[in-house]
Amino acid sequence: MPELTPGRKPAARSPRPGRPAVIDRDRIVAAALELDQDTLTMQAVARRLGVATSALYRWVGSREELLDLASAELGRRIVPRREPTEADWRAWLAELAHAIRREFRAVPGFAARALTGGHRAVGHDTVERGVVTAFTLGGLPPEHARQRWYVFATAILGWLAAEESGRFPADPPMEFDALVEVLLASVQAEDGSPSGDQ
């Protein structure tokens, strides 16, 4: 067997280096969520990861697919792991509200985009179902619970969009917990009595 040239290793012990080996779909989505969704490009994500743009297409077919994946990932991050119950629906919604604030604030421009309908729908059906279920458990009929979902989402997204703009209108600024309290405190059962956990 011939001697190896100094510094060289047997082929079996030196896998060929290549860009696809250092990225995967999860890393691509994570990088996309660090960038402004309105101006997101495959080139910007590639620069963020330090790879060639062509390397991304092994994992993601297009910018549109990437935006869908990012939206689905945000939905996964914000929904509490447990299902809401009749005993803790308020606590479940409060946990969701704070998760929305935490995760959306980390994605530049996402709250304003979601508020105006420019967001991706993928992943948000899970959030909507959870909120409607929680308000239904709180005593609202399904059609009212769905309307309350619109109020809940719009109020929180509006707050976050104003907060991100740096021109929050209240002086002193209203506390986020106060917003959540108002959104959850007025729910009443069909008989008009306060409902749910207190």
Q: What is the CATH number of domain 11-185?
A: 1.10.357.10
What pLDDT, on a 0 to 100 scale, did the predictor assign at position 7? 47
- The pLDDT, as a whole number, for residue 119 is 58
Given a cut of 50, the residues of the chain with pLDDT beneath it are 1-21, 191, 198
> Three-class SS of residue 123?
coil
Q: Which residues contact 118 (CB under 8 A, 6 or more apart)?
A: 38
pTM: 0.76
pLDDT at 188: 62
